[in-house]
Chain A
Amino acid sequence: DIQMTQSPSSLSASVGDRVTITCRASQGISNYLAWYQQKPGKVPKILIYAASTLQSGVPSRFSGSGSGTDFTLTISSLQPEDVATYYCQKYNSAPLTFGGGTKVEIK
């Protein structure tokens, strides 16, 4: 099975900072990658699918890139409401594995 590895597992940044989270697949998955945001005590929310397509209603400060095995989620200017854990997920085939998550905090 394909493994999904996220890094870092946590980060602390200042408001306005550019934040980058990476996700690596152990084998190529083309662009079948999604990013989710889960705020504390809340349900996961889809941010990006097809590696780089922003879900409707998601702020444009979020962006995704990558293909094959290496992917990134970027927050161009971190806002207080972005405090959350972010997960990547592959969906090219079952099992639909999630990455371990990246917890983003404000410094």
Chain B
Amino acid sequence: EVQLVESGGGLVKPGGSLRLSCAVSGFTFSSYSMNWVRQAPGKGLEWVSSISSSGGYIYYADSVKGRFTISRDNAKNSLYLQMNSLRAEDTAVYYCARVGKEGAPYYYMDVWGKGTTVTVSS
């Protein structure tokens, strides 16, 4: 069974840092690009970042560029999101999601984790 399990969320003060992880199983992780998508309370979906299967291509939303860093460890079947200089507007549920086509740098997202909640507040 394909599974994505996020962890690392929590309460952090403005200006603080947090590292999210996404542990995957049930498919060949090293063959797929991955994404982080977030959803602020009561709001819509916002794409945050994408990373290609090898990690060679990385993309960010303007809202997080320069503050967030996406990475992956294919040996550990894990995806990460390092979040620095956090702001109140970064408060959201963060989902990791797999692209729907092996080898594609970006695509629609066919498998989603259940999400981890990040709250930025003093």
Query: A residues within 8 Å of B by Cβ?
Result: 1, 34, 36, 38, 43-46, 49, 55, 85, 87, 89, 91, 93-101
Contact A46 B106 (CB under 8 A): no
Take A43-B112, A43-B114, A95-B61 as given contacts and tell me if A36 and B45 are in contact as well, using a CB distance cutoff of 8 Å.
Answer: yes
Partner of B110, one of A55, A85, A97, A101: A55
Main SS of chain A's interface residues? loop
Chain B, residues 30-49, CB within 8 Å of chain A (1/0): the string is 00000101000000111100
- Chain A: CB-nearest residue to B104: A91
Take A96-B47, A98-B46, A98-B47 as given contacts and tell me if A46 and B110 are in contact as well, using a CB distance cutoff of 8 Å.
Answer: yes
Residue among A1, A44, A100 with most chain B CB within 10 A? A44
A39 to chain B: closest CB distance in Å?
Answer: 13
Contact A43 B113 (CB under 8 A): yes
Query: B residues within 8 Å of A by Cβ?
Result: 35, 37, 44-47, 50, 59, 61-62, 95, 100, 106-110, 112-115
- Chain B: CB-nearest residue to A47: B108
Contact A49 B108 (CB under 8 A): yes
Contact A101 B45 (CB under 8 A): yes
A28 to chain B: closest CB distance in Å?
Answer: 17
- Chain A: CB-nearest residue to B47: A96
Residue among B37, B45, B108 with most chain A CB within 10 A? B108
Contact B106 A94 (CB under 8 A): yes
